[in-house]
Chains A and B, each alone.
Chain A
């Protein structure tokens, strides 16, 4: 009786999953493995070996890995500081850091475009100081900056969550046993925050790897990531088959990286 009602409650989610996850995924697979006429082919998948396709993939992997690393290096000390504050004040500060998430992410990237442009705000300041203008926009660095800025809160939040769950006395115990502050961080705090770090890395790396908006706006159409290539195949070239195939390859890389990460996770993810 009870289990029947539970099944009924699960139905809407089941419909949602089939309609909006399973069927679209199957469609992507179908397009990826067929040509324009609808017959089976591996040619689209093989396209990833073409220079114009694998270079953007490698670049995307590189830039998102760098961005994820920077996010982690920025977020972990910050989360440590937030944790050491009294609970109320700490969570208010954490709130300030996630506040930008309430703004449209595209808008935030456009703001960076205005700041970094050749005749933008930053170069304006440099010119006013009689310093040579810099080429800031349309560089990989600008894209990394955009990724870090956009995704940093997704790294802070899960790490802060796991850190705030560590008992004060567990940390005090390490000091008590003679550990210095760095030793305590590396031997006790860092290992205990692994679930949060795994969540944070996932939540930064995946959207960074698949983005096309950030590279489009801050790369000025000159720097192509795999996201841009896929977008172009769908929108510009109307080649759904190639776009789907490249998406599948990208998905494969994401699954691989998740599998790698899950080896470090003890299964108590802070958000996943």
Chain B
């Protein structure tokens, strides 16, 4: 395992007696693009603010390269933040905004000029030095906010939903820009968002949070393909989450039909949750011998790149299915899922965890 840049140990934060973060542990590797992902109020922004030094944890410690920085004020930390809604200084022009951090550190005027020009080049806004903040669009302001942060050569850049205020097309553009920037600068990014697509697109490592807990942490592929619980499965993309019975290793019963799968180690006759992504449900002819479940197509919407359809099986469950092939509503069909596309999860152990699973 590579050296950790940031280590959070047992971080607990309360606001007005309400627990926002509960004994959070998280290790962030140097040079990675980590995304904290979760619905609003899950504690992701609070985590970022604790790393940034704007919030003090009630319990627990923050380590930066092994050094305890829990009590170090924000202005002494080797990191910079890109704030939600940019937080530029409206009384300064763009040059002065970007130069702010360098002026604080009393750099020479020629050094500042070079650095600001370099930062503007990185964010593709060369020649904007003398412009005022109000004269920029949202996307441009965001670029200036990024330039203002990276000009200080931080080891770590914190980004708090930086693209939240931008429209879809601009957001996608900025996503690629951020990935490019990260690769060019070779620094660590911690990114906060509630947009699962953004998280999957940009990150090396995704931390899914809910109600102050880390639900799952892993690569985007792991998070998407092997969700550890119903909350993650539900939050990341669309999915069919159905109750199942693990008959034995590599064999699960769903709605009375037996599916071969690849998971093992759950024991015999254990109730489990089964996650099947809508694009992994294959629609077959009714008589096809491979069909495991049978049902009637009950719903269909054209979504552009695919059809979003629903198939109601005999027990009444509506399977969400994504396919490029249209199957008319009313057709009787057979359904098949490849063993490797069936993801088995432990059932929540208690009522408490159940509550986490059904959030929103």
- Residues of A in contact with B (beta carbons under 8 Å apart): 167, 169-170, 172-180, 183, 187-188, 191-192
Q: Is the pair A172, B83 in contact by a Cβ cutoff of 8 Å? A: yes
Q: Report the minimal beta-carbon distance from A216 to chain B, rounded to whole angstroms.
A: 42
Which residues in A have their C-beta under 8 angstroms from that of B75?
Answer: 175-180
Q: Is the pair A179, B85 in contact by a Cβ cutoff of 8 Å? A: no
Bound-state CA distance A167–B83 (Å) is 11
Given A173-B81, A176-B81, A178-B152, the answer on whether A183 and B87 have CB atoms closer than 8 Å is no
Q: Is the pair B73, A175 in contact by a Cβ cutoff of 8 Å? A: yes
Q: Report the minimal beta-carbon distance from A44 to chain B, rounded to whole angstroms.
A: 45
Q: Is the pair B83, A178 in contact by a Cβ cutoff of 8 Å? A: no
Bound-state CA distance A172–B81 (Å) is 9
Q: Which of B76, B88, B91 contacts A191 (CB 8 A)?
A: B91
Which residues in A have their C-beta under 8 angstroms from that of B52?
Answer: 172, 176
Q: Is the pair B104, A169 in contact by a Cβ cutoff of 8 Å? A: no
Q: Nearest B residue to A188 by beta-carbon distance?
A: B89
Is there a chain A Cβ closer than 8 Å to B266's Cβ?
no
Is there a chain A Cβ closer than 8 Å to B80's Cβ?
yes
Q: Is the pair A176, B80 in contact by a Cβ cutoff of 8 Å? A: yes
Sample of 16 further A-B pairs with CB below 8 A, known A177-B75, A180-B75: A167-B85, A172-B52, A172-B83, A173-B81, A173-B87, A173-B88, A173-B148, A174-B89, A174-B100, A177-B80, A178-B76, A178-B101, A178-B105, A179-B100, A179-B104, A188-B91
Q: Which of A167, A175, A177, A183 contacts B152 (CB 8 A)?
A: A177
Q: Nearest A residue to B148 by beta-carbon distance?
A: A177
Interface class of chain A by DSSP = helix
Q: Report the minimal beta-carbon distance from A167 to chain B, rounded to whole angstroms.
A: 6
Q: Is the pair A172, B104 in contact by a Cβ cutoff of 8 Å? A: no
Q: Is the pair A172, B90 in contact by a Cβ cutoff of 8 Å? A: no
Q: Is the pair A169, B84 in contact by a Cβ cutoff of 8 Å? A: yes
Bound-state CA distance A173–B88 (Å) is 8
Q: Is the pair A169, B83 in contact by a Cβ cutoff of 8 Å? A: yes
Q: Which of B76, B89, B105 contacts A173 (CB 8 A)?
A: B89
Bound-state CA distance A167–B53 (Å) is 17
Is there a chain A Cβ closer than 8 Å to B54's Cβ?
yes
Q: Is the pair A192, B100 in contact by a Cβ cutoff of 8 Å? A: no
Which residues in A have their C-beta under 8 angstroms from that of B101?
Answer: 177-178
Q: Nearest B residue to A191 by beta-carbon distance?
A: B91
Bound-state CA distance A178–B100 (Å) is 9
Bound-state CA distance A45–B313 (Å) is 100
Bound-state CA distance A200–B83 (Å) is 31
Which 8 pairs across A and B sit closest by C-beta, in order of nearness? A177-B101, A169-B87, A169-B83, A175-B74, A173-B87, A178-B104, A191-B91, A176-B81
Sample 24 A-B pairs with CB under 8 A, ordered by A number. A167-B85, A167-B87, A169-B85, A170-B87, A172-B52, A172-B74, A172-B81, A173-B87, A173-B89, A174-B89, A174-B100, A175-B53, A175-B54, A175-B74, A176-B54, A176-B74, A176-B80, A176-B81, A177-B149, A178-B76, A187-B100, A192-B89, A192-B90, A192-B91
Instruction: Produce 1/0 per residue, B59-78, CB < 8 A to A.
Output: 00000000000000111100
Which residues in B have their C-beta under 8 angstroms from that of A192?
Answer: 89-91
Q: Report the minimal beta-carbon distance from A170 to chain B, rounded to whole angstroms.
A: 5
Which residues in B have their C-beta under 8 angstroms from that of A172?
Answer: 52, 54, 74, 81, 83, 87
Q: Report the minimal beta-carbon distance from B158 to chain A, rounded to whole angstroms.
A: 9
Bound-state CA distance A68–B91 (Å) is 25
Which residues in B have their C-beta under 8 angstroms from that of A187?
Answer: 100
Which residues in B have their C-beta under 8 angstroms from that of A170?
Answer: 87-90
Which residues in B have their C-beta under 8 angstroms from that of A183?
Answer: 104
Bound-state CA distance A57–B291 (Å) is 101
Residue among B73, B85, B100 having the largest count of chain A Cβ atoms under 10 Å: B100
Q: Nearest B residue to A181 by beta-carbon distance?
A: B75
Bound-state CA distance A1–B73 (Å) is 62
Bound-state CA distance A66–B231 (Å) is 64
Bound-state CA distance A229–B269 (Å) is 102
Which residues in B have their C-beta under 8 angstroms from that of A177?
Answer: 75, 80, 100-101, 104, 148-149, 152
Instruction: Produce 1/0 per residue, B130-155, CB < 8 A to A.
Output: 00000000000000000011001000
Q: Report the minimal beta-carbon distance from A207 to chain B, rounded to whole angstroms.
A: 29
Which residues in B have their C-beta under 8 angstroms from that of A178?
Answer: 75-76, 101, 104-105, 152
Bound-state CA distance A184–B74 (Å) is 12
Q: Nearest B residue to A171 by beta-carbon distance?
A: B87
Bound-state CA distance A178–B91 (Å) is 18
Residue among A175, A179, A180, A192 having the largest count of chain B Cβ atoms under 10 Å: A175
Bound-state CA distance A175–B88 (Å) is 13
Which residues in B have their C-beta under 8 angstroms from that of A191?
Answer: 91
Bound-state CA distance A83–B111 (Å) is 36
Bound-state CA distance A169–B84 (Å) is 8
Which residues in A have their C-beta under 8 angstroms from that of B54?
Answer: 172, 175-176
